[in-house]
């Protein structure tokens, strides 16, 4: 199990950051992602593994209206 | 298949300008001496009384600047002087005030061409403020005026002409021009420009025919687009500014200014303004393509994003997504907008997001067959006129967008009002007999636009819709047409103003953002949905209250200065969230620093982050007291309809049953198993209402207000707005 933005998310073996975003339907282009407090560089999401039990923070940089 | 639209081909309305002008009758003409601002301020107000045909000047005092800053602050100050607690929107003493702020008109920093419009709203009965682009405000300022204060009523259709280069101001009767804005803006620009090169120095404010019967009339502010050879339009949309305008028998305001040069604000430190301006424009140029695509799509880039996060209003805010959204999403508009033209509603703005769809062949009404340029659709139009009404046809959406604009109708209020009557139709509250034969089924674009034609003709059910959701709720309940509770719950208005186009059921902070806004529910005051609902950055009531203190005040500041909000956070330094921890990043600290430098660079006055907020806080609290003075401004007026807070109908609940059941189990602590949908809806309602009230308690406390939402005497003193007349309004409410 992962914790993504304080909410649980079922873990799939071999998950990457990109997989987490896809599973949560986080489609917005401008994201800032931390895995266990470590900032993940944009452009590396599909190569960055997420370990089971990790805490993932995904901030949407979107301002709206 | 891709279709190309010729951006230079459109119906010409300016062929007969000399005949139209020959019918004008000068009512009064006065000379004036143009002057440039000094450090952002001209310190002059142009006062016009249409009843007495008075044109005069008033001085702007240092005290006004110190307390009210400019823009919206000046508008509220003069409006307070103009009206009494009993003033209605259509009383002659109601003022219509336009004021660019001290930073407006600089051509260095993106988004610096804004005007603020303030008046008593026909929809709410309290002050409305609108932040609008176009050239009028800056050109007015560079003719010599920080404020245009219009009162009284003309006898016949009248225009006000401010001609800076000739040094004259005139009121003219103008009987023959069509008031509809796509025509009026073009005709008056041609009429008062000396030649083709002078077109850019002329700007026109107008409102169309429908603003004469509807309460949701808007004002169109023009800017001349030299590449298209067209007058483009930006809207002071909310609350009925155009209705007040037409009620005063104003057909147009025309300003002819001077050819633009750099530093017409005569800044205290011009090089600093150049430096920060370069910084933001470089950032836009380098990063917009990877961020919001504002230069190609404007705010329409948000359509599919809102859909993906269940935030796009569908069928009167019942649902947050729809299978047909791709038919009106940003990719559609990216193709439909003419690309490669700098769509800047003010000089020097690298964001250039005033996108337009050229070559629209009008499908209906008096302009059927004409070829026009449609300004937009922006996100609010696509969502409000489109998904919220179940309309997913881009051609019909452009048609409704075009007629809203030219008839002078606020797209946000119309979208929400139209969605409301369509749901009423679905639920049998309305039928063909009650609508005069109009079929208001979801997605009926022809009926949607026919409502606008009826408003413009002053007949039929369209008149009822144009008076807004609150008016209709009262009428339908009075007529016994449906369950009063249901009609109240699904009518998306607060304080009489229609809610703008974001679903906020799952964002408590945004419910507060809408319902606690002084003028009524408009997203330009606070937009916290992602911070709250998706990012989960403000989990506690106190966190939300802090956000509902800071962000409305920060955004108010744009309205004091004559700035656009978009370059603040629709472009960000790419490392913004990496550099600044937590919610601080949402403030975009490096852009705040830009604004502090820009302010000091122009005005010469030092400003830090704390004093920036305090500038806004004084005006914000003054506006709250103003609402109180007009008989509102307390807690009962800050309550949203339940549709904004949770599921009103069984269908809504069941469409998101997994979410709602989980909330009952994990947050409320009640096992939903074995309970009927109706029982669960009752439990949800109790929980959601209770947490909203707790939020309001926290926000009022943070803002320095009483539990009934009244600014305390300490708050007024701290903000130096404790004048005897302000205290006299507040004192009876403090016990």
Q: Model confidence at A62, in pLDDT bands (50, 70, 90)?
A: confident
> How many Å lie between the alpha carbon of B138 and the closest alpha carbon of chain A?
24
Cβ atoms of B348 and B564 within 8 Å: the answer is no
Res A59: pLDDT: 93
Q: Is the pLDDT of residue B1 over 60?
A: no
Q: Model confidence at B35, in pLDDT bands (50, 70, 90)?
A: very high
Interface check for B580 against chain A (CB to CB < 8 A): the answer is no
Interface check for B581 against chain A (CB to CB < 8 A): the answer is no
The pLDDT tens digits of the residues spanning B230-276 come to: 999 999 999 999 999 999 999 999 999 999 999 999 999 999 999 99
* B32 within a domain of the structure (yes/no): yes
Chain B residue numbers with beta carbons less than 8 Å from the beta carbon of A39 are: 578
Distances in Å between the Cα of B102 and the Cα atoms of B71, B142, B265, B562 are 8, 11, 8, 7
The pLDDT tens digits of the residues spanning B149-198 come to: 999 999 999 999 999 999 999 999 999 999 999 999 999 999 999 999 99
Average pLDDT over residues B451-467: 98
Res B3: pLDDT: 66
Interface check for B290 against chain A (CB to CB < 8 A): the answer is yes
Res B308: pLDDT: 96
Interface check for A33 against chain B (CB to CB < 8 A): the answer is no
Res A65: pLDDT: 64
Cβ atoms of B530 and B509 within 8 Å: the answer is no
Helix, coil or strand: residue A38 = strand
Domain that holds residue B678: 533-571+608-733
Interface check for B308 against chain A (CB to CB < 8 A): the answer is yes
Domain total in chain B: 3
The pLDDT tens digits of the residues spanning B265-313 come to: 999 999 999 999 999 999 999 999 999 999 999 999 999 999 999 999 9
Q: What is the CATH number of the domain that holds B652?
A: 1.10.599
Please classify residue B19 by burial: count the beta carbons closer than 10 Å to its beta carbon, then call 0-12 exposed, 13-18 middle and 19+ buried: exposed
Cα angle value B480/B482/B483 (rounded, 5°): 110
Q: What are phi and psi of B487, to 5 degrees?
A: -65, -40
Res B581: pLDDT: 83
Range scoring the smallest mean pLDDT among B379-393, B566-580, B691-705: B566-580
Q: Is the pLDDT of residue B4 over 80?
A: no
At the fourth CATH level, the homologous superfamily of domain A2-60 is Beta-grasp domain (3.10.20.30)
Res B556: pLDDT: 98
Res B266: pLDDT: 98
- Shared-domain flag, residues B545 and B413: no
Q: Domain boundary at B480, B498, B516, which?
A: B498
CB nearest A29 (choices: B290, B569, B570): B290
DSSP assignment of B180-197: SHHHHHHHHHHHH-SSGG
- Shared-domain flag, residues B327 and B398: yes
Average pLDDT over residues B38-65: 98
Cβ atoms of B123 and B129 within 8 Å: the answer is no
- Shared-domain flag, residues B666 and B709: yes
Helix, coil or strand: residue B353 = strand
The pLDDT tens digits of the residues spanning B386-403 come to: 999 999 999 999 999 999
CB nearest A64 (choices: B308, B502, B577): B502
Q: What is the CATH number of the domain that holds B441?
A: 1.10.569.10
Q: Model confidence at B464, in pLDDT bands (50, 70, 90)?
A: very high
The pair of structure tokens assigned to B296 is: 């190609």
CB contact under 8 A, A32 and B578: yes
Q: What is the CATH number of the domain that holds B228?
A: 3.60.9.10
Q: CB-hemisphere CA count at 13 Å for B279?
A: 17
CB nearest B527 (choices: A7, A30, A63): A63
Q: Is the pLDDT of residue B228 over 80?
A: yes
Q: Model confidence at B2, in pLDDT bands (50, 70, 90)?
A: low
Chain B residue numbers with beta carbons less than 8 Å from the beta carbon of A64 are: 302, 502, 523, 527, 529-530
Q: What does the H/E/C string look like for B50-108?
A: CCCCEEEEEECCHHHHHHHCCCHHHHHHHHHHHCCCCCCCCCCCCCEEEEECCCCCCCC
Q: Model confidence at B81, in pLDDT bands (50, 70, 90)?
A: very high
The pair of structure tokens assigned to B732 is: 């009876």
CB contact under 8 A, B302 and A64: yes
């Amino acid at each position: 199990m992962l914790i993504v933005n304080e909410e649980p998310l079922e873990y799939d073996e071999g998950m990457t950051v990109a997989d987490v975003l896809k599973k949560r339907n986080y489609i917005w282009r401008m994201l800032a992602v931390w895995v266990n407090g470590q900032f993940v560089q944009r452009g590396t999401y599909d190569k960055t593994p997420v370990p089971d039990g990790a805490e993932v923070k995904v901030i949407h940089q979107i301002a709206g209206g | 298949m891709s279709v190309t639209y010729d951006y230079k081909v459109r119906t010409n309305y300016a062929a007969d300008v000399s005949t139209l002008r020959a019918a004008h009758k000068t009512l009064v003409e006065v000379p004036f001496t143009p002057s440039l601002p000094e450090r952002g301020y001209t310190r002059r107000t142009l006062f016009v009384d249409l009843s007495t045909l008075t044109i005069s000047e008033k001085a702007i005092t240092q005290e006004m600047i110190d307390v009210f800053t400019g823009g919206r602050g000046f508008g509220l100050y003069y409006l307070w002087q103009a009206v009494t607690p009993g003033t209605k929107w259509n009383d002659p003493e109601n003022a219509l005030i336009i004021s660019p702020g001290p930073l407006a008109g600089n051509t260095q920093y993106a988004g610096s061409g804004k005007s603020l419009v303030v008046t008593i709203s026909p929809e709410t009965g309290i002050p409305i403020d609108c932040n609008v682009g176009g050239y009028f405000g800056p050109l007015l300022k560079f003719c010599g005026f920080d404020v245009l204060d219009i009162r009284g009523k003309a006898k016949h259709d009248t225009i006000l002409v401010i001609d800076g280069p000739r040094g004259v101001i005139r009121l003219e009767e103008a009987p023959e021009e069509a008031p509809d804005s796509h025509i009026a803006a073009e005709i008056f620009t041609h009429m008062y420009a000396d030649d083709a090169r002078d077109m850019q120095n002329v700007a026109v404010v107008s409102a169309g025919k429908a603003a004469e019967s509807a309460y949701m009339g808007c004002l169109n502010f023009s800017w001349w687009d030299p590449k298209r050879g067209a007058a483009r339009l930006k809207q002071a949309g909310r609350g009925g500014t155009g209705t007040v305008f037409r009620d005063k028998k104003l057909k147009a305001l025309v300003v002819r200014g001077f050819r633009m040069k750099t530093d017409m604000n005569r800044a205290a430190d011009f090089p600093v303004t150049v430096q920060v301006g370069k910084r933001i424009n470089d950032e836009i140029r380098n990063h917009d393509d990877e961020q919001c695509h504002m230069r190609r799509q404007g705010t329409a880039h948000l359509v599919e994003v809102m859909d993906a996060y269940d935030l796009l209003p569908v069928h009167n805010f019942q649902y947050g997504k729809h299978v047909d959204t791709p038919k009106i999403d940003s990719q559609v508009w990216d193709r439909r907008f003419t690309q490669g033209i700098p769509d800047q509603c003010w000089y020097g703005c690298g964001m250039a997001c005033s996108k337009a769809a050229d070559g629209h062949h009008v499908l209906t009404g008096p302009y059927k067959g004409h070829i026009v340029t449609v300004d937009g659709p922006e996100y609010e139009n696509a969502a409000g006129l489109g998904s919220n009404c179940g309309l997913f046809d881009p051609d019909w959406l452009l048609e409704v967008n075009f007629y809203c604009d030219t008839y002078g109708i606020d797209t946000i209020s119309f979208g929400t009002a139209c969605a409301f009557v369509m749901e009423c139709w679905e639920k049998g509250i309305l039928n063909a007999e009650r609508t005069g034969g109009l079929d208001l089924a979801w997605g009926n674009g022809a009926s949607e636009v026919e409502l606008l034609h009826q408003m413009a003709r002053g007949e039929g059910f369209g008149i009822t819709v144009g008076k807004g959701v609150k008016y209709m709720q009262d009428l339908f309940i009075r007529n016994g047409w449906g369950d009063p509770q249901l009609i109240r719950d699904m009518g998306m208005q607060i304080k009489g103003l229609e809610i703008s186009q974001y679903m906020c059921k799952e964002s408590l902070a945004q419910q507060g953002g809408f319902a606690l806004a002084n003028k009524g529910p408009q997203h330009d005051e606070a937009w916290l949905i992602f911070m709250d609902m998706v990012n989960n950055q403000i989990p506690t009531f106190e966190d939300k209250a802090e956000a509902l203190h800071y962000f409305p005040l920060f955004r108010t500041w744009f309205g004091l200065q004559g700035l656009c909000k978009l370059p603040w956070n629709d472009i960000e330094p790419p490392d913004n969230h990496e550099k600044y921890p937590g919610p601080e990043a949402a403030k975009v600290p490096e852009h705040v620093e830009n604004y502090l430098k820009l302010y000091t660079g122009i005005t010469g006055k030092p400003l830090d982050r704390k004093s920036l907020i305090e500038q806004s806080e004084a005006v914000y609290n003054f506006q709250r007291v103003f609402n109180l003075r007009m008989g509102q401004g307390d807690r009962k007026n800050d309550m949203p309809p339940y549709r904004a807070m949770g599921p009103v109908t069984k269908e809504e609940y069941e469409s998101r049953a997994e979410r709602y059941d989980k909330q009952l189990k994990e947050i409320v602590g009640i096992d939903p198993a074995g309970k009927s949908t109706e029982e669960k809806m009752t439990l949800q309602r109790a929980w959601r209402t209770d947490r909203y009230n707790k939020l309001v308690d926290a926000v009022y406390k943070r803002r320095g207000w009483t539990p009934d939402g009244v600014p305390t005497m300490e708050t007024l003193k701290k903000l130096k707005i404790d004048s005897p007349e302000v205290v006299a309004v507040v004192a009876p409410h403090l016990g």
